[in-house]
Structure 1
Amino acid sequence: MRRRRASLGVMREPRPAPERIKGRGAGSNREGRFELTSLEHVDDGWFREDGEAPPQPRTEVSEETARSVISRNRSPDIPFEQSVNPYRGCEHGCVYCFARPTHSYLGLSPGLDFETRIRAKTNAVERLRAELAAPGYRCSPITLGINTDGWQPTERRLRLTRGLLQLLHDTRHPVSIVTKSALIERDLDLLAPMAAQNLVQVALSITTLDNRTAASLEPRATAPHARLRTVRRLGEAGVPVSVIVAPVIPAVTDHELEAILEQARQAGAHSAGYVLLRLPHEVAPLFREWLDLHHPERAAHVMSLVRQMRGGRDYDATFGRRMRGEGAFADLLEQRFRIARRRLGFGRLPELDCGRFVPPRPPSPQGELFQGDRSLP
């Protein structure tokens, strides 16, 4: 191991050269933009047999105690004001995930660390209950599954998202959901009655219909055909469903735009949207590594198209342009989407009802004195 710069930064695992790693999206543990120390592997030949593959990175889930869980949004091009994320990091491993740079704030890599070192906010339900019960709280829809997918694999065991959804169900609080996991079908017992009161809508994100492409882009997310099945099952249960073609990657997945919309409509999706590939901060070099590993023959062409839509840069974060891009290729994508949406008869999801909300009762020591006392009238 060789240290390139000495500092007091947080120590992490050394970064080997980028490589294909089965079941992982990132090909390296690239340093975050706040790191002061950078480490790299140097193979000295010890403890490795000739031809022996390096050990696969394992997922580690650690507990985090949150001081608050509701995040407020003021971005004019995002259609929600509040969101809740019970996890930091996401085992789905989508290499394009715009949330990867948030791991840099933890002193961890937006690369492999983001998908292998997960933080679980184990007090999320408790904190949400307290925030909903606050006297000044104003009800507006809460979105689950923005920075990380609330139904990622570790949710099967921890059930944090399930607890949050149960609380929102009990308080009749409206919620919108974004996911790419069939695990959401587990919660149909909550979603269906909420849908009957116009309290929930779900968006399934579908990037590609090709299993091989999905296996490298988003290796631990639900397979594309299973997501379409989830669209159908949610719709059959009365849950309003939309499909988001996201992200649209030029010269990799953009040719599938119409096919995804057609199959989503056949599965029962009520509305549709799309988002252009976004490469903020450390996502850009991670995505370039992915191209070099999986599509070296077209890597330069893909990035050339990306820059044409981003004002000559890897990314343009300007509101109004960051989701759609600019230029001839971006205009063509938007035109194709509009034509397909009109032809397939997509509509809009109904607005959620905020008038049913009943704040949770704050804990009362006095109330607990009488809990269970059946002798009282």
Structure 2
Amino acid sequence: MTSSASTPVRLAINGYGRIGRCFLRALHESPWREHYRVVAINEPADLASIAYLTRFDSTHGRFPGKVETTDTGLIIDGEPVTVTHAESPEAVDWAAMNLDVVIECSGRYGRRIELERFLKAGAPRVLLSHPGHSAEDVDATVVYGINQDALTGAERIVSNASCTTNAAVPVLTVVDEAFGLEHALLTTLHSVMNDQPLIDGYHHTDLRRTRSAMQSIIPVSTGLARGIERLLPALAGRVTAKAIRVPTHNVSAIDIALTTRREMSVDTLNAVLREAAESRFPGLLAWSDDPHASIDFNHDPHSAIVDTSQTRASGAHLASTLLWFDNEWGFASRMVDTLHHWQARRAHPHTATTSD
């Protein structure tokens, strides 16, 4: 289906967990809300739980609208949403829904052969809430603000990368352009996720992830460096990363250590990052020098907020800075942005603007 300017773009959400529900809420709060309609949700959970967790969220509060249930799904602010409970892409008749895009938020499908199952089952296009297994498994990987203009509208499978990649790539881009980035070491302090148990249990093949999420700080593996190199291939071999899960429910941070070819200082690095936030990436990158705690950024739609009070330097070529980001809301907001730009490119393939 190709929607006209007066016809809302029809969406389905596959996998209605943290990001799936945040995407629906972010779309609801978006200035482009009237351009889109979520007409279907596929989630194995029972309908009563789906409705309840749409209405109430421990992190982001009550849904700012009316949510009702019917025999076949939900009614959200008067608009019907069909709910299915399939365990595989083939078990949903996507074609019958007359969709424009499936928003894939289950995280279960990363290889092209798996993602094409949606297309073969009638989904016209798929937007992923994760990086996919590799660059070759998707038609494009987008960090909004960096490379969304590379979209042509002809893509069938697009990845929105990861929350950490969306947070880090704009900052690394700016530092590289201003100072010549030699190497970067990123340490992510990430809130708990649903691949961790509340108490010790046989939950994961990564033994550290069998430990209680709320009782320990837990190192885990991360593909962040690979994700950054996919977007910034000139930095291949010069970026590495590690990740530590911390017992908070939401909002994460990245400590970025940087070595550069040209001299820098705390003041010059902060000045460059402030300028980028205010002029180059408004609405995507922000900065603050207030004495923050992570909770201050809950429900913040930016990809990252640079905490300039935490920038440090050792000599003229080594520095570090701290990024805060709401790993749920910021990322869901970028999914909405990427969707809107992709749809605009599909409707007007020769237009370079990101706005209506």
Higher strand share: 2
Which protein shows a greater Rg? 1
